[in-house]
A and B are shown apart, each in its own frame.
Chain A
Amino acid sequence: MPISRDDVLHVARLARLALTEDEVERLTHELADIVEAVGIVAELDLEGVPPTSHPRGLVNVMDDDEPRPPLPLEDVLANAPDHEGNLFRVPAWRQ
């Protein structure tokens, strides 16, 4: 499947990535190669094969509803670029 320049810009926008012109050019080719590599799967006859959602055959791995201690506040905020009191501070955004 060919990947267009617009595909790359669209995905970059969704991920809030600012790409240089060179990067757009490079990623257009790289993404096309990746999609082509994965596309080999489409050559298989998958009639009646359910989609895999997890590589292991495990199901129903669940935990009891019993609280465990949360992270201490100083650790919560330790890596935050910015905070105000106990709150994380992030650049303005809107819905």
Chain B
Amino acid sequence: MSWEPVIGLEIHVQLKTKTKMFCRCPVGFGAGENTQTCPVCLGFPGALPVTNRVAVEWTILLGLALDCTIAERAVFARKNYFYPDLPKGYQISQYDLPLCKDGKMLVPTADGDRVIGIVRAHLEEDAAKTVHVGGSTGRIGGAAWSLVDYNRGGTPLVEIVTAPDLHSPEEAKRFLQLLRQTIVELGISDAEMEKGTLRVDANVSVRPAGSDELRTRTEIKNMNSFTFIARGIEAEVERQIAVWEAGEEVRQETYDFDAATGRLTPRRAKEEADDYRYFPEPDLVPVEPDRRLVERLRAELPELPAARIRRIEGELGLERAIVLVTGGLDRLWQETVEAGADALAAANVVANNLVRAGVDPELVSPKELAKLVGARERIPRVAFDEAIARLGEPGFSADPYLAREAVSDVAALDPLVDAILAAHPEQVAAYRGGKEGLLGFFVGQVMRETDGTANPRVVSDLLREKLAG
């Protein structure tokens, strides 16, 4: 029997407002522990929360980008649980009346757009950061005590919940890349997994291909990169298929994914089911977004990544278009093409050379980049690489690099090529025996001997000719 994965995601995004969700303590990394706290975010008795207007507007903006219905009336609710990272004994979240619901995001694929449902996007406050110390094993269970830093506590957090519409680990990864890029472009969050400003949990089940039943799902947590998310889901899908095929039942459990081993570890089962006893937060009044504000935000929405992928894929092909757009590189590519560069060549240079050199695309002059793209086969490789690496420097000019000519003189290269071939008789024999991929090896040898000044195209033509002979 063949199986189909059914995947839903729960995404938490930390907003980059200047202040916290319900108090005006500054938000930011790197401040001394507990120095960005006040009676509200420390949960001191009698302290009263006040909603951050910008956090509400940004959540509406994100909701609009995800094609959600923006609530006429949204209500904050207390989610009660007892935990030191939550000093009040509850988290202020939203429950039955979230700010945004019933949206969708399109994921462009070779077979048309996949429509991924967005169940809701609501606003809540982040928990504090805890450090576990002591204990013999160094694990949480063996810790003697916990140390708590409330700086992060109370930071605005948007929770986005998708419908179980994703059907492969790869699709989940693509959806997340697109969602992340959308969030970054809206300017509401850094959305960096390494920093924890973007966090993803996955709900996974499998079903016989072609059926529309929903079987028991499990939850995977602690995946801190898109690649690990895809791998974690993959591992869980395989595990569940094996369970069903062995005639057993999948149990509802939560797993941690260990990226180092690729293993899923079940969390110790809770003594009882979650009982959050949600109720409306009496310290906050409802939010009823002004329709003029909603329409103004809708009008301000930029062209979104999925639409841009569709717009440029005709020129570049879908895969290249996705790489450029989800990498935040398509605007530079577009402007470089407008400055006269060949579309495909510019796409390759931007997506490969520029990214490898770690250059910030925002700092690059498209005009200078276009010059380099045009000259990349004529000038020495070293000159090209050096120019790419310096593209982000203020006032960078490509002109001095364009003046440097690669050695294209066959007469000058000929003896060097002969010497290289003579020094590697085994590789020559292998090449002639059919391993033509070795051409790159020989080109590399010549480039090294010439300190990167030879014209690679002339070198490979010369090599091909001699190796054929």
Name the residue in A16, A64, A90, A92 with the highest tally of chain B Cβ atoms < 10 Å from its Cβ: A92
- With a cutoff of 8 Å between Cβ atoms, the chain B residues found around residue A10 in the complex are 272, 275
- Give the segment of B18-26, B198-206, B299-307, B346-354 that binds chain A: B18-26
Tell me whether A67 and B19 are in contact (CB under 8 A).
yes
In chain A, positions 63-95 with a C-beta closer than 8 Å to chain B are 63-68, 70-71, 73, 76-77, 84-95
Docked complex Cα distance between A10 and B140 (Å)? 25
Closest Cβ of chain B to A48, distance in Å, is 16
B292 at the binding interface (Cβ < 8 Å):
no
Tell me whether B280 and A95 are in contact (CB under 8 A).
no
- Give the segment of B146-154, B161-169, B446-454 that binds chain A: B146-154
- With a cutoff of 8 Å between Cβ atoms, the chain B residues found around residue A77 in the complex are 34
A1 at the binding interface (Cβ < 8 Å):
no
Known interface pairs A66-B24, A92-B135; A86-B84 also in contact (CB < 8 Å): no
Q: Which of B37, B53, B141 contacts A94 (CB 8 A)?
A: B141
- With a cutoff of 8 Å between Cβ atoms, the chain B residues found around residue A20 in the complex are none
Tell me whether B132 and A84 are in contact (CB under 8 A).
no
Closest Cβ of chain A to B95, distance in Å, is 10
Closest A residue by C-beta to B268: A94
Tell me whether A92 and B143 are in contact (CB under 8 A).
yes
Docked complex Cα distance between A74 and B64 (Å)? 44
B35 at the binding interface (Cβ < 8 Å):
yes
In chain B, positions 275-292 with a C-beta closer than 8 Å to chain A are 275, 277, 280-282, 284-288, 290
Interface size class of A (residues with CB under 8 A): 35 or more
B3 at the binding interface (Cβ < 8 Å):
no
- With a cutoff of 8 Å between Cβ atoms, the chain A residues found around residue B83 in the complex are 93
Docked complex Cα distance between A58 and B37 (Å)? 28
Tell me whether B280 and A53 are in contact (CB under 8 A).
yes
Closest B residue by C-beta to A86: B33
Known interface pairs A88-B148, A89-B147, A90-B145; A54-B50 also in contact (CB < 8 Å): no
Docked complex Cα distance between A68 and B84 (Å)? 25
B443 at the binding interface (Cβ < 8 Å):
no
A sample of 16 inter-chain contacts (CB < 8 A) reads: A10-B272, A54-B285, A59-B286, A59-B287, A60-B290, A62-B52, A63-B52, A66-B24, A67-B18, A67-B24, A76-B42, A84-B147, A87-B34, A87-B148, A92-B140, A93-B84
Binding site for B on A (CB under 8 A): 10, 13-16, 51, 53-56, 58-68, 70-71, 73, 76-77, 84-95
Binding site for A on B (CB under 8 A): 17-19, 24-26, 32-39, 42, 50-56, 73, 75, 80-84, 89, 131-132, 134-135, 140-141, 143-150, 267-268, 272, 275, 277, 280-282, 284-288, 290
Nearest 3 CB-CB pairings of A with B? A53-B280, A65-B54, A87-B147
